[in-house]
Structures are given as structure tokens and as C-alpha cells.
């Protein structure tokens, strides 16, 4: 029953809900997916010529030996620069699916934040590994890795799938994404494999932080010691004075003794 309920919830969170959003919003819900796919196609077409290849490398070519400010400046463009050693059309299909699912399930702003954060995490962690140096706990990298071109949207794709799996509680998607990245890093130990693992870890952290946001407290949720006892203990009733009876006194005439002109309280027997 637990497995069936989990798979049913995952089916609704990963497939049914995004399809409903697509029906409701139409093609406007796939803006990021179309922009990402057309961006990769555009830069791939431009890079087929020598002059275009130089332009693409200057705009979106990221290497670990570049100055940090220049790498940060090129990182957003590097998301649309396809990796040279991977088939571009297969990558475009995964890219479109990841951005489409994320935009429908998470929203446009959060999709951009997760995609950029996971890509940037891999780019910055490579610099840390180069600073550690080779031969230290298996984490360091040799200096020649700093010359490897580090571009492509693969880290963003892995990060988006992992983030969706965490926030939507989709264990099948999480195992497929994370397990394939672990297998890739073992079968082909290269820079891309390490960055993909870093993207998975960063997406898991972001997803857990999103799932544990502090709930906004209402006045009724606060304990009495924060609001004070006056908020919970009713005030004591205010005593109402008894009415005072007065006796009618004759009104003094003008020029006479006026001490009896005012009403006098009745004397108790």
C-alpha cells in the first residue's frame, strides 16, 4: 500500500499536475523550455563556422583557469552552449523536457534560480578541487583540468530533475537521475561527471531548504508567555456603583438662604 500510494502521488506530482498547468496556461507555460532549446540550437549553428566558434567561446566559454569575474560573467551564456563531445539533438530533448516540467511545476522564477544555482555550484566547486590539488582524498584535480572547456546545460538539467524529485517527493525520478549520475562518474571519470554529482547535491540541498521553510505564525499559535497573560486571562469586572437616592429640597428664593437649594443625599436610618 505504501509503494502504491507513493507511486500514485509521484504520478500526479510529475505528470498529472504539470499537464493540467499546460492545459490551463497553454504555450505560455513553456517559454523557458523554448528559449533554452532555441538558444542551444542557435549557438550550435553559429559554432559550425570558425568565426562563430571564436565568438561562442568568447561569450560562453568557461574554464576553471579564467578569472573568477570573467567566469561568472560567461556562466549564464554557457547554459546555452552545447558541449562539443555530446550529441546536441539528444541534449536538446532532455533540456526541453527538464525546463518544461520545471516551469510548469515550479514556476518561471524558481526554475531560473535552480538552473543557475546548480550550474554555478559545479563551476565554483571545480575551482576548489583545483586548489586542493591531485592525490588528496580523491577530491583534488590536476592543474591541466583548468584548460578543459566547461560549458553546456547538462548540470542545469540534472539539477532541475533532482530538485523536482525532492520537492514533489518522487523517488523514481530521483533514483533515475541521481543513480545515472553516479554511474556516469564511475564509468567515465571526467570533469562533467563530477559537476553532475555536485549539481545533484546542490539541488537536494535547495529542495530540502524549500521543504522546511518556517511557517508564518498567527497570534493564536503563539504561547501565552509571548503574548502576555493579559491576552489570555479575562479582565476583572469593573464594579458599578449603586444609585444614590436624593431627596427633593425646596428651592430657595432669590436673596434667601441658598444652602438648601442643592439636592442632599438621603440619610441612612
256 pLDDT higher than 70:
no
The separation between CA 9 and the C-alpha centre of its own chain, rounded to angstroms, equals 21
What does the DSSP 8-state code read for residue 141?
-
Query: What is the CATH code of the structural domain delimited by 2-210?
Result: 1.20.1540.10
**Other beta carbons within 10 Å of 144:** 10
- How far is CA 124 from each of CA 80, 110, 150, 217, rounded to the nearest angstrom? 18, 21, 11, 37
pLDDT at res. 251: 45
Tell me whether residue 85 is exposed, middle or buried, using C-beta atoms within 10 angstroms of its C-beta: 0 to 12, 13 to 18, 19 or more.
exposed
Range in 63-72, 88-97, 104-113 the model is least confident about: 88-97
The whole-number average pLDDT for the span 65-84 is 85
The whole-number average pLDDT for the span 196-207 is 91
- What mean pLDDT is reported for the chain? 77
Range in 15-29, 94-108, 176-190 the model is least confident about: 176-190
Range in 127-131, 162-166, 252-256, 265-269 the model is least confident about: 252-256
Question: Helices in 150-263 by DSSP H: which ranges?
Answer: 154-167, 171-187, 191-211, 224-227
For cell 535547495, what's the residue? 206
261 pLDDT higher than 70:
no
Q: Which three cell numbers stand for residue 223?
A: 504561547
47 pLDDT higher than 70:
yes
Longest CA–CA separation in the chain, Å: 124
On whether the CB atoms of residues 151 and 60 are closer than 8 A, the answer is yes
- State the SS3 of 11-51: HHHHHHHHHHHHHHHHHHHHHHHHHHHHHHHHHHHHCCCHH
The residue extents of the domains of the chain are 2-210
Amino acid at each position: 500500500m505504501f509503494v502504491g500510494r507513493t507511486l500514485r502521488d509521484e504520478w500526479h506530482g510529475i505528470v498529472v499536475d504539470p499537464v493540467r498547468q499546460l492545459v490551463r496556461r497553454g504555450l505560455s507555460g513553456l517559454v523557458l523550455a523554448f528559449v533554452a532549446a532555441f538558444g542551444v540550437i542557435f549557438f550550435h549553428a553559429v559554432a559550425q563556422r570558425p568565426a562563430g566558434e571564436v565568438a561562442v567561446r568568447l561569450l560562453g566559454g568557461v574554464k576553471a583557469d579564467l578569472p573568477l569575474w570573467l567566469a561568472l560573467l560567461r556562466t549564464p551564456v554557457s547554459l546555452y552552449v552545447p558541449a562539443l563531445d555530446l550529441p546536441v539533438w539528444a541534449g536538446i530533448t532532455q533540456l526541453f523536457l527538464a525546463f518544461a516540467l520545471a516551469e510548469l511545476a515550479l514556476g518561471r522564477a524558481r526554475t531560473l534560480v535552480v538552473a543557475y544555482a546548480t550550474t554555478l555550484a559545479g563551476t565554483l566547486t571545480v575551482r576548489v578541487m583545483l586548489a586542493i590539488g591531485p592525490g588528496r582524498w580523491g577530491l583534488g584535480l590536476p592543474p591541466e583540468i583548468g584548460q578543459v572547456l566547461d560549458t553546456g546545460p547538462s548540470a542545469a538539467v540534472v539539477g532541475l530533475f533532482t530538485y523536482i524529485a525532492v520537492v514533489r517527493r518522487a523517488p523514481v525520478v530521483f533514483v533515475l537521475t541521481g543513480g545515472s549520475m553516479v554511474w556516469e562518474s564511475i564509468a567515465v571519470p571526467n570533469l562533467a561527471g563530477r559537476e553532475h554529482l555536485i549539481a545533484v547535491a546542490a539541488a537536494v540541498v535547495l529542495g530540502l531548504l524549500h521543504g522546511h521553510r518556517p511557517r508564518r505564525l498567527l497570534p493564536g499559535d503563539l504561547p501565552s508567555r509571548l503574548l502576555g497573560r493579559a491576552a489570555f486571562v479575562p479582565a476583572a469586572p469593573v464594579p458599578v456603583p449603586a444609585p444614590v437616592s436624593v431627596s427633593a429640597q425646596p428651592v430657595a428664593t432669590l436673596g434667601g438662604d441658598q444652602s438648601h437649594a442643592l439636592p442632599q443625599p438621603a440619610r441612612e436610618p
